[in-house]
């Protein structure tokens, strides 16, 4: 069997683009393409072509036909097809796609029929008992082929009774003795996968989720990935941001979201390590019935920025300092006040100023938590 194999890592940009376009055109025309993913290498076919699907199943041999994952090029493409109904489901999609995950999502029969007709899907191809199977591969080669197809694509693993093909070379070796290989247009990849299947996660109509098949990702890793971290940043991390951290932790603990762990931290843009919160800051939050845990100042770092899901500077100068460290974090950085006003520094002022500052911070945090607990998790008023 002679099939053109293209490793995008070794191809020039022009040659890679040409190979991708040829593969996309072949899929639209009902031919097959071997595609490497981060999990396994598989046979890609158009889910809108019965002839292509017949060729794919014939090439796979005696396997019973089952529903396959609809492979999409982007996370946004998934969200255009199916909308999560809870914050947890949004976080799963946000954190795990693209990646080695397949989502099984419930569909209303009328909505499912609308999708079938709109995409010309062959019935019972990407659906199972009223649920759609959706996946966005984690590697670029597969996503580029899918995008170039401009047609719904399924990719079915090439395997034997004892192994799954981790690379396109393995896949071609397994398929070499089977009839139907003349329908394969090309094999495209950018490296071998793990040889393990994607993890199957069921997203339920009540907003919950469950791992239905463990693959590359284990449930404990997934749970860790969807934990949420909120970071507050001021100047020295001894007054405003410790108060904000204590208030936010109190509010989160008072109204927990089932299944979601929220971690609250604070740091100082110009802080030294290990300084305690000022006594006035501690008394200010205690007067609100909030306990400030033992606090030691933490300097702002790229690591803290990278691990946070939302970062709030107490002033515009603080957001500027954050973005000076990590300009790529702009979409998750904002001034704490949604209206863009600074929270003045009470350092050196009497206790009454600290009390007023804490009282002003609390409703700002309440507004920000309400934003984060809604369907979309990006703080509004983000610093450009």
Structure tokens belonging to residue 163: 């192994």
* Residue 153 C-alpha from the chain's centroid: 21
345 is catalytic: yes
Query: Measured between alpha carbons, how far is 312 from 332 in angstroms, rounded to an integer?
Result: 8
* Residue 36 C-alpha from the chain's centroid: 21
Question: In DSSP terms, which residues pair with 44 in a beta bridge?
Answer: 33, 155
35 contacts 42 by C-beta, under 8 angstroms: yes
Q: Which one of the listed residues 91, 234, 249, 337 is annotated catalytic?
A: 234
234 is catalytic: yes
Query: Measured between alpha carbons, how far is 50 from 123 in angstroms, rounded to an integer?
Result: 9
Query: Measured between alpha carbons, how far is 168 from 164 in angstroms, rounded to an integer?
Result: 11
240 is catalytic: yes
Q: Which one of the listed residues 7, 342, 345, 355 is annotated catalytic?
A: 345
Structure tokens belonging to residue 143: 């996503």
Q: Which one of the listed residues 240, 249, 362, 368 is annotated catalytic?
A: 240
39 contacts 194 by C-beta, under 8 angstroms: yes
Query: Measured between alpha carbons, how far is 103 from 264 in angstroms, rounded to an integer?
Result: 29
Q: Which amino acids are annotated catalytic?
A: 234, 240, 345
């Amino acid at each position: 069997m002679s099939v053109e194999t293209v490793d995008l890592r070794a191809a020039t940009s022009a040659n890679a683009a040409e190979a991708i376009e040829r593969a996309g055109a072949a899929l639209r025309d009902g031919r097959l393409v071997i595609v490497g993913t981060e999990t396994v290498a598989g046979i890609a076919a158009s889910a809108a072509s019965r002839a292509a699907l017949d060729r794919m199943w014939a090439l796979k041999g005696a396997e019973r036909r089952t529903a396959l994952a609809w492979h999409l090029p982007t996370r946004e493409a998934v969200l255009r097809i199916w909308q999560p109904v809870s914050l947890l489901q949004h976080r799963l999609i946000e954190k795990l796609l693209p990646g080695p995950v397949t989502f099984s999502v419930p569909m209303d029969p009328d909505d499912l029929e609308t999708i079938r007709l709109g995409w010309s899907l062959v019935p019972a191809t990407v659906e199972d008992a009223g649920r759609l199977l959706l996946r966005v591969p984690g590697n670029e080669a597969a996503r580029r082929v899918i995008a170039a197809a401009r047609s719904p694509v399924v990719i079915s693993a090439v395997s034997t009774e004892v192994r799954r093909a981790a690379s396109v070379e393995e896949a071609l070796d397994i398929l070499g003795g089977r009839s139907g290989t003349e329908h394969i247009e090309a094999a495209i990849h950018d490296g071998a996968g793990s040889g393990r299947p994607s993890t199957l996660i069921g997203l339920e109509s009540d907003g919950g989720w469950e791992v239905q098949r463990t693959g590359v990702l284990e449930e404990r890793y997934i749970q860790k990935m969807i934990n949420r971290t909120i970071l507050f940043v001021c100047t020295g991390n001894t007054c405003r941001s410790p108060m904000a951290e204590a208030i936010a932790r109190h509010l989160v603990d008072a109204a927990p979201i089932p299944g979601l762990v929220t971690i609250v931290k604070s740091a100082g843009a110009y802080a030294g390590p290990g300084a305690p919160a000022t006594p006035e800051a501690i008394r200010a939050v205690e007067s609100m019935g909030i306990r400030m845990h033992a606090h030691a100042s933490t300097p702002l770092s790229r690591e803290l920025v990278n691990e946070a899901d939302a970062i709030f500077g107490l002033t515009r100068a603080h957001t500027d300092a954050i973005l000076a460290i990590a300009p790529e974090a702009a979409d998750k950085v904002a001034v704490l006040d949604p209206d863009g006003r600074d929270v003045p520094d009470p350092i050196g002022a009497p206790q009454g100023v600290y009390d007023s500052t804490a009282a002003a911070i609390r409703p700002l945090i309440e507004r920000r938590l309400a934003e984060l607990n809604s369907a979309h998790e990006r703080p509004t008023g983000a610093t450009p």
